[in-house]
């Protein structure tokens, strides 16, 4: 049996940091104690040297592009980048080709991942205007949830039939995750900019086209529908100050019927960055103003927002290098999400305990993921060591995304992921991913 002893770690779990040792046996955490002696001669010992040991991050929103869009990325390539970045589990979205909108197509993705994923995986079932019957067949114990696009994005899966929406919301007890942007508002804004600029709209207009109002209209409608039907709603990638009034921090997470997520790029960039980053920070919903970013940080820290994710969505350099109107939205983030949040820790914006809460504990709680997201005896050993004082710079040579670029290129990070364990197996060490596809299908306590 694989046995690993991690010694002298700052163990971060459930709001506290304790110094101690962690023993891994097989796939699981066997023991956590102030000091554990070597158990056997074949036990691998890792001296954490006082670095942080955190539960592997659980990214509740990624687009790994397989099947059908594998020129942008694959489950293998992007999960490989994820474990290098300290993300040990991911939930992938249905807008691949073909869209995952039948049980058969959904299971095909699980089959690919079972052969190729370095990280643990789950896939969302996609809802459309006409697949309610298929949606209702979804197994709540081994599928993360239902995904609805209430605004069109890559892979156009727009659900805009209000009767259908209400039916989906009222017919399933499963978590429904939504992309909220109002289509009518976006189209009207786009027409205005086309009148002014023709086909040469500047990227600096992106947040004005996919505006605050477009986000607010859509998310407020989804929340009203969830309240009316009693649906379990999770709102993805919030981007505006205005939307924060729609969510509550007055009740414990476990009792919330409506939960909220923010993504790394909305916490990091603002519309001022379009001038230098251009299409490389073109996302849907758009990166907005400094005031919006400040409000998102405030909401994250006061628990109005529950989860930090990436919305990792790679496109090729060629695709992103087109003019604004032709360039697709989305960018790669899984390799740099954890260290980006640790950068915020160094800047005094957030504690390490809070990073762990928002990137590991809360996704596990919201999705009711079985035995993951915490450092506890009997839980799967999905663990990450982070060295907070090992500076490095993001460049083409160390980017692992298949697309070969990152919006963080040229950024200097103070912290580095040194080791990643997935199901007890050391899959990343010394800046190298080991060729061990240790990922397992996530299961849910529902």
Show which residues are catalytic: 311
Question: Virtual CA dihedral for 191, 193, 198, 200, nearest 10 degrees?
Answer: -130
User: Smallest Cα–Cα separation from 122: which of 330, 367, 311?
Assistant: 367
**Alpha-carbon separation of residue 231 from 178, 261, 341, 362 (angstroms):** 12, 17, 31, 19
Contact call for residues 394 and 306 (beta carbons, < 8 A): no
Sheet holding 233-235, edge to edge: 125-126, 146-149, 176-179, 233-235, 258-263, 307-309
| Cis peptide leading into residue 298 (ω within 30°) | no
Q: Of 35, 43, 41, 30, whose CA–CA distance to 3 is shortest?
A: 43
Cβ atoms within 10 Å of 435's Cβ, excluding its own: 8
Q: Which residues contact 302 (CB under 8 A, 6 or more apart)?
A: 249
Distance (Å) of CA 310 to CA 68, 123, 248, 413 = 21, 15, 22, 17
275 exposure class (CB count in 10 Å sphere: 0-12, 13-18, 19+): exposed
Pick from 279, 374, 369: nearest CA to 330: 279
Strand-pair partners of 425: 422
Rounded to whole angstroms, the Cα distance separating 444 from 425 reads: 22
Residues of the chain by 3-state class (helix, strand, coil), percent to 5: 35, 25, 45
DSSP 360-386: IIHHHHHHTBTT-SS--TTSB--EEEE
Residues contacting 354, CB < 8 A, separation 6+:
301
């Amino acid at each position: 049996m694989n046995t690993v002893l991690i010694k002298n770690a700052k163990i971060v779990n459930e709001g506290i940091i304790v110094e101690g040792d962690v023993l891994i046996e097989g796939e699981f955490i066997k023991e956590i104690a102030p000091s554990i002696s070597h158990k056997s001669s074949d036990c691998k010992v890792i001296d954490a040297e006082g670095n942080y040991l955190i539960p592997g991050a659980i990214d509740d929103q990624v687009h790994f592009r397989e099947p059908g869009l594998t020129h942008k990325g694959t489950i293998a390539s992007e999960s490989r980048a994820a474990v290098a970045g300290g993300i040990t589990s991911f939930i992938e979205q249905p807008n691949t080709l073909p869209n995952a909108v039948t049980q058969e197509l959904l299971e095909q993705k699980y089959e690919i991942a079972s052969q190729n994923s370095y990280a643990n995986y789950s896939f969302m079932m996609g809802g459309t205007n006409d697949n309610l019957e298929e949606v209702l067949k979804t197994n709540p114990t081994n599928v993360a949830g239902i995904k609805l696009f209430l605004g069109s994005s890559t892979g156009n899966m727009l659900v805009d039939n209000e009767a259908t929406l209400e039916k989906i919301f009222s017919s399933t007890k499963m978590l429904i995750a939504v992309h909220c942007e109002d289509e009518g508002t976006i189209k009207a804004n786009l027409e205005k900019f086309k009148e002014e600029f023709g086909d040469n709209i500047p990227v600096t207009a992106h947040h004005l086209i996919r505006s605050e109002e477009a986000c607010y209209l859509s998310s407020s409608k989804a929340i009203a529908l969830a309240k009316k039907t009693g649906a379990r709603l999770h709102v993805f990638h919030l981007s505006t100050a205005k939307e924060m009034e729609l969510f509550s921090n007055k009740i414990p997470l476990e009792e919330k019927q409506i939960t909220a997520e923010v993504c790394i790029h909305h916490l990091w960039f603002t519309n001022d960055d379009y001038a230098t980053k251009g299409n490389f920070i073109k996302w849907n919903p758009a990166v907005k103003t400094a005031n919006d970013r400040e409000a998102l940080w405030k909401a994250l820290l006061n628990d109005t927002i529950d989860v930090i994710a990436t919305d990792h969505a790679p496109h090729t350099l060629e695709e992103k290098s087109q003019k604004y109107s032709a360039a697709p939205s989305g960018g790669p983030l899984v390799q740099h999400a954890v260290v980006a949040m640790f950068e915020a820790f160094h800047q005094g914006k957030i504690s390490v305990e809070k990073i762990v809460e928002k990137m590991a504990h809360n996704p596990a709680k919201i999705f009711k993921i079985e035995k993951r997201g915490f450092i506890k005896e009997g839980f799967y050993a999905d663990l990450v060591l982070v060295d907070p004082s090992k500076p490095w710079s993001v460049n083409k040579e160390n980017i692992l995304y298949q697309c070969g670029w990152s919006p963080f290129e040229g950024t200097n990070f103070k912290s580095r992921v040194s080791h990643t364990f997935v199901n007890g197996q050391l899959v990343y060490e010394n800046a190298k991913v080991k060729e061990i596809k240790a990922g397992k299908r996530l299961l849910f306590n529902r």
